[in-house]
Amino acid sequence: MQDFMRAGVAVVAPHLVPRWDAEAAVILETLDSYHRYAAPYQEITGLRSEQVAATLRDDLRSVAPSMAAFVDHLQANLQAAGCAAFVPELGLGGFDADRRARLLYALAACIGMPSPTDARDGRIVWDVVPRRTAGDYYATFSEHDGEAAFHTDTQYYPAPERWIALYVMTPARCGGGLSILCDGEAVRDALDGPETRWARQVLEGQPLPFRVPSVFSTDRRPGVVQATVAPVFSSCPGVRYRRDTLLDGWSHFPDYRSAEAEAAVRVLEAELVRTPHAVRFAMPRDSLLVADNHRALHARTAFSDRQRHLLRIRMRGEERREAMGFPMVSTVRAEALETGR
């Protein structure tokens, strides 16, 4: 428990979870009135406006008071802990897969405004499962079974979502796929020492290119590569980082690469290795993690069980989006130019 506290993670007791047995039916009925053709859960797409999303949230809170109370408790824990709230048992294990996912969406809709994960179809609930990829497809962590190093989600977008919900449908039976969470603000503060303050200043002041994975690209023309150019540390979001998207961004946008920036990233990586403000833990079936994507860095160990299945929903908060506006740049891969693709 002490490790959770040092990492800024609150652990929520199971007895505080919603009374799903009493409220599930009316919650699903309310969702159906907003998403009439969204069955199964993979077909749930974003609502047409923030006003409609707010109305859905009000309606859900009205018909499901225990879920509303749980969300209030969860948000209070998030504010007090700083980074995340972990619920070891959400209480959805007795429902079929589709109802579990739809009830998770209802919970997310009460926390923030769920945002589309896939730019192609507007899907809200993302299945975190290993996928087969080929060619020049640039995969993201949620599409493979390898190790996922410390990162924030959608660091490759100008305005990353504030909240991330991860729910375990089926955990890895191989013992891998462990979750790791780290307090990004504590890491930032640790770099303020006399020997590393220069690195913090570089990471706060120098824009770096984070490449957009193929599945999230907003430009699907052949050979086009996109990246968002932003510092690692800023006022909003507090931290934005993923090493592999940065390295790939540098390879395609070398004008943003410098020896000083590379050295600062190495200092950051060294701090992430030794920081005491991190916790490693297994997420069992029916567990939930809600993380502040503007502060928490998260990671995952590799796994071999390809039946591992998590659900992820990203949510926007009430922060002003224009305060997080950073440019997105595009280029065409050299090999695509040469082949004419």
Tokens of 320: 């002003």
Q: Are 115 and 327 in contact (CB under 8 A)?
A: no
Q: What is the DSSP letter of 156?
A: T
Q: Residues 86-102: what's their mean pLDDT? A: 97
What pTM does this model have?
0.90
| Mean of pLDDT values over 279-295 | 97
Which of 183-197, 203-217, 285-299 is the least confident region?
203-217
Cα angle vertex 107, ends 56, 177, to 5°? 145
Cβ atoms of 168 and 287 within 8 Å: the answer is yes
Q: 32-46, 138-152, 160-174, 310-324: lowest mean pLDDT where?
A: 138-152
Query: What is the per-residue pLDDT for 233?
Result: 97
d(CA 300, CA 283): 11
Give the pairing type, strands 148-151 and 296-300. Answer: antiparallel
Average pLDDT, the chain: 89
Residue 303 CA to its chain's centroid (Å): 19
pLDDT at residue 129 is higher than 50 = yes
Least confident of 167-171, 262-266, 322-326: 322-326
pLDDT of residue 321: 57
Q: In this predicted structure, what is the pLDDT of residue 139? A: 46
Q: What is the domain class of 2-339 according to CATH?
A: alpha beta
Per domain, the residue ranges of the chain are: 2-339
**pLDDT, tens only, 38-83:** 678 999 998 888 999 999 999 999 999 999 999 999 999 999 999 9
